[in-house]
Each structure stands twice: as structure tokens, then as C-alpha cells.
A and B are shown apart, each in its own frame.
Chain A
Amino acid sequence: MTIDANQKITVLLVDDHPMVQDGLTACLSYYDDIEIVDVCTNGKDALDKALSLRPDVILMDVSMPTMNGIDATEIITDKIPGTKILIFSMHESSEFVTSSIQAGAAGYISKDTTSEEVYFAIKAIAEGKTHFSSSVARALIDNPIRPENEKLTTREQVILTWIAKGLSSKEVARKLNISYRTVEAHRRNIRTKLNIESFAELVRYAVNHGLVDS
């Protein structure tokens, strides 16, 4: 996506702390090409706002009540493919970064940074690039994402549970209000991540891990 010089980048700020919202809004107000169109305080609201406002970038905190930013990211990218989400968090360990990337985030910056970096990160994300804070990038280099290390996302785990309970992809799609193709894509991902081919093995995995009763 190319950004028109006159067109501002619309940003949805998701953070449960009003003071952070205010502080960041104040800082970003110095940049003319960015506009914070709305703020909300949890992942659930973020989904509704994302659907109605279609912001260019969602600046998403991680630690929030009801649903954390990583799970929200996954659901939003599931339902509105192509949404650009920049995770904005106090957590700096690589597990948060890799989980965010797996959930579909385009970038990850530490909250403990300058507003200038926030600005540059938002711009980079809006232009379709990725951006990671230097501290976060270090963690990624130290612990690169290896396929065998990949974990199931919360969504994938929910889908696995439904499948193990005997639901078809179509039924899962209806339950989660997503498309059949998305569910199928998740199923492929689950199989790859778990290195499992058969349905029986999938069920056994779910039983072993206490996702369903035996």
C-alpha cells in the first residue's frame, strides 16, 4: 500500500492504561502524518473497532484484561486478513516476540522506547514493512524462530480442540465466525506444527494434553 502525502496514517491504539493512551497520543500529535483515530482498552473491543474503522495500523498492547493483545492480533488477522498490527509492549523476552509474529503481527516494539521510534515503526508497518525494536530484535537473533520450536497459537489450539471433539471444518468455521478456508489453513498449520498426519493422532494429541476428555 502506498501512502498519499496528504493522507494520514490512521492508527487504532489498544492499551488498557488511560495514562499511556494520553501520553502516547500527546507524543504522536507532533507528527502530522499520523492520526490516532480511536483508542480502546481490550482485545475484544479492538476487533469491533478494527471491523468498523479499518485503521491502517493497530498499535496493540499485550497485557490486557479479558483477552491479551497476542490473541486479539490472531483473531483480528483471522477475520480481517491484511490488518497491520504493531505490538507495543513492556515485555521484551523473545517468546513474546515469536508468539506475536506467529499470531500475525507485523512488528514489535518495546513500550520503553522513544515516541520517535513509535512513529517510525508505525510508518514502516503502514508501508508493509516489518519493524522490531532493537532490544527485541536482539532477542530474535539470539533465539530465532525454528519450525520445530513453533507453538500452536491460541486460535489453533481452540480449533484443534473442536476438531478433536468431532466437529468438521465447516462447523468450526461457523462456531468461530470465520471462513472455511481459514479453518482449513489453520488445520494445515496445526498438522505441520505438530508433525501429525492422521486425524486419530490429532485426537490422541488433544487427549494427551488435556484439551478434551478421553
Chain B
Amino acid sequence: MNFRMRLMLIAVLQVVLTSLITYYFVTKEYRDLSSESLITLEKFLIDQKKQELKNYTSLAKSSVDHLYLDSLPENTVVKNLVARVFDGLLYNGEDGYFFVYDGKGTNIVHPKEPFRIGNNYWDLENESGEKIIQILLSNAKNGGDYFRYPWLKPSLKEPSDKLGYSIYLEKWDWMIGTGVYLDDVYTQLSQLQSEMDRHTSKTKQIILIVAISSIFMIFLFGLIVNLNQKKKTDLKINELGQRIITLQEDERRHFSRELHDGIVQILISIKYSLEATARYIEKANMDKPEQLTKAENNLSTAIQEIRRISHHLHPRILDELGLSAALEALANEFTERSAVIVKIVKPAARKLLPDNINTSLYRVVQEALTNIEKHAKATQVAITFEFQNNWLTLSISDNGCGFDQEKQEAKPLHGIGLRNLAERIEYHSGRFTVVSNPSGTSIEVMIPKSSFVNHFNQTSFEAQK
């Protein structure tokens, strides 16, 4: 993993971590807040209910006070009258009513469940084993208090949590009670709860979206930086590659020169010395030794061989006579070798180009001709080398069978490959195009005049004066 990748990973980790922490705290905060406010709300609502109950009860009591206070404890008529008053006192639609029990738990008034009247409920228990009527009675005797227990809700016709409140009429040993059902409080609370949950999940979503988009941005940014870097690196690599090629060509030129103008000249001088020796022997009227002839022959072979190597490394004609002459020589060699006819159009002017462009163009033609010889099955080749409109144009066209350009680019069949040559030409600010179809291949190279203008003056003028 490289440095940039590591940096990106750290950034992503940071985003993930930050998001997780934010997520954790936000949800925790929400949860705490919601449970807290729910408790407060519940307490408030129930307090409200309690107050309501108390009010209703005191209202109910005061409505019978005039009968109760002035009556005797055993006055059944007044008791029945009061019972009927309670029976008729209703509030909150169906669900608000008053019930009356005597001190022994016998029901006296129950407007919604009249079957209970006259029955004893001393031992009535709720699910947790609390004796409902006894608790209500003791609450009443203690001056009035609240008790929560399940009871049938008239409007629902099924049991629901009920908050009961009871007071005591001491003279008659009566407990008067009423209650409100708490299910609507719970409904309100659960509505609030779900509202808060919705808020929480919305916040979670936002955090998630922010985190994902941050990570995406990091990757995008990384990608852009990477691409940019890669582009720069590619450019540098390309430049380096071209510099290596230039150096290599310089080296080859140097070696070629050393061989041709150095070693070969020495061998030539040896050849003349051998000849002089032969002549000397001849003058002394002796037979020319066989070894001398052999040495002369071997020397000739050596000279030919070194010249061949020198030419292969770098054609000297390119430096001495320029590209036109070198191309012509190349074409002649090619025709001799392959019997393919080459037509050349070239300028009368010469030595117009710097060494490196000369060599690059020469290599393009060399590669093109090698391709033609090996694959194209062509019978004719046209090389055009022209200078026009601020561009040098060199094109090599054949009438062969063409090749698959994509295949060729993916895996050069031989030699330096067209791709490398294209890069080389681009290095000279030039253009390189290849068009290949079943009726032939055409390679065109263009170099802008700015790459070679005044080269001839700079190299050939001084010596001419």
C-alpha cells in the first residue's frame, strides 16, 4: 500500500469513526430526552386527571350535601334519594360515572353495571392480588386518595387501566368513588414516543448520508489526485523513456562511429601494410606465403563484419548525407532483400534536421519496412518526405493486407513497436498516425517546423566561409 492509499484510508476511518460517535451520542441524547419528557408528560397528564377527579368528586359531594348533612344516619329515603342523584351524575360521555359502596363492600350505586347493585365485592382482586374495593374504602376513610386498577371501560366494553378516587361519607358508612380511564393518556404518550422515534431515525439517516457522502468525496478526491498524479508520472516516465532512447541512440551513433572511423580504419591500414609486405616479398623474388593471403582474406572478412555491425548500430549515411539519402539507401537495401518496389519522394534540400529527429524518423521508416516485409505481403511501398505549411511530413504507405491495429498496440509483434515510435515522435512535438485496412497500411509522421528550423544554418554555415 502506498502513502496516498494509507492517507486516504486514515481519512475514511476518521469519517467512519466520527460518524459512529456522533450517531451514538445523538441517539443516546434523544433516547434520554424522550424518556425524560415522556415521564414528565405522563406525570403532568395524570396530575391533571387527578385534579379533575378531585373536582368532579367534590362537585358531586356538594350536590348532595344539602341532603346528607341534615339527614339522620338511618334515613333510607334520603339515602335512596342521594343514591339516585349519584346514579344520574355522568361526565365525559359514557365513561365518567360515580359508584357507591357501603363499608362492607356491598355495591349501592353503579350506573353502568347495575347488576352489581346489592352484591358484595369485599374480596374483589386485581391481577396483582390487591383487593380493589378494600383499598378504595381505606383511601376514602383516609380523606381521599387515588388508586389505579383495571376496570371495564363502558365505551370500549373491555377492561382498561382506571384511576380511581374515593371519599367517605362517615355518617352513612358510604364510600363514593369515581375514576378516569388512562388509555387515552397512554395513546398520547405512545404517539409522542413514535414522533420522537421518527425524529431519531431521521437524524440517523442524515448522519449516515453525511458519512457516506464524505467517504465518497474522499474517494473522489483521492481518485482525482491519483489520476492527476498518474498523468504526471506517465508524462515523466515517457520523458525519461525518451531520454533513455536518445542516450541509447547517441551511444549507438558513437559506437558506430568508433567502429567505422576508428577500428575499420586501423584494419584498413593493416590491410595496406600486408599489401606492402606482399609487394616487398614479390620484389625480393620470393613466393607470397599462403598465410599472408589467408591473413588478407580474414582481414577483409573482419572489415566487412565490423562495417555490418556499425551500420546496424547506426547508419553513418544519416550523419554524413542526411535523412533523404539515408532513406534512399534504406529503400534500396529493402528492395534488394524483399523485391518490393519502393517509390520515394523526397526534397532536394538536405541536412535540415537535428540528429535526434533524423534518427527517430529513420527508425520509423525502418520499423515500417520491417513490418511490411514480415506481415504485409505488399508489392509496392511509397515513401513521401515533404516540407509544407510549417510541417515536415513523412509517410510510408503499402498496398499490403494491413493489420489489426488494436492487436498490434496491445502486443507489438516485433521490433520497437509502433507505440514506442509514436511516443518518440510525440517527444519531438510531432504527430503519429497509423491507418490500416485490408487494402494497405499507411503511417504518417508530422514534425512541426519549430523543431528543426535553422538547424542547417547552425551546423553547416561556419565551415563554408
Binding site for B on A (CB under 8 A): 15-17, 19-20, 22-24, 26-27, 30, 43-44, 62-63, 66-68, 70-71, 75, 90-91, 93-96, 99, 111-112, 114-115, 142-143, 150-152, 154-155, 157-158, 160-161, 175-177, 193-194, 205, 208-214
Contact = CB atoms under 8 A, between A and B. Distances in A.
B164 to A, nearest CB: 111
A114 to B, nearest CB: 6
A93 B317 contact: yes
A16 B324 CA distance: 26
B275 A115 contact: yes
A158 B271 contact: no
Contacts of A152: 348-350
Contact of B269 (A22, A94, A213): A22
B92 to A, nearest CB: 105
A44 B464 CA distance: 9
A214 B389 CA distance: 11
Instruction: List the 3 shortest-distance A-B pairs measured between CB atoms, nearest first.
Output: A23-B272, A19-B269, A23-B269
Nearest to B449: A210
B463 A24 contact: no
Interface residue SS majority, chain B: helix
B458 to A, nearest CB: 11
Interface in B325-362: 325-326, 328-329, 332, 347-352
B273 A63 contact: no
A209 B349 contact: yes
B457 A151 contact: no
B452 interface: yes
Contact of B265 (A20, A160, A176, A194): A20
Contacts, number: 153
Contact of B272 (A24, A68, A157, A210): A24
Contacts of B2: none
Nearest to A159: B464
Interface residues of B, number: 54
Contacts of A15: 265
Contact of B347 (A63, A176, A209): A209
B5 interface: no
B43 interface: no
Interface string B25-64: 0000000000000000000000000000000000000000
Interface in B268-307: 268-273, 275-276, 279, 283, 300, 303-304, 307
Contacts of A211: 349, 352, 454, 456-457
Contacts of B276: 23, 26-27, 30, 115
A176 B460 CA distance: 13
B239 interface: no
B172 interface: no
Contacts of B464: 71, 75, 154-155, 158, 176
B266 interface: yes
A182 to B, nearest CB: 13
A111 B268 CA distance: 7
A112 B308 CA distance: 14
A93 B329 contact: yes
A20 B268 CA distance: 7
Contact of A112 (B273, B300, B350, B387): B300
B272 A143 contact: no
Given A30-B279, A208-B388, A212-B454, 20 more contacts: A17-B266, A23-B269, A23-B270, A23-B272, A24-B272, A44-B463, A63-B261, A66-B463, A93-B329, A94-B328, A94-B329, A115-B279, A152-B348, A161-B456, A193-B348, A194-B348, A205-B349, A208-B390, A210-B455, A211-B456
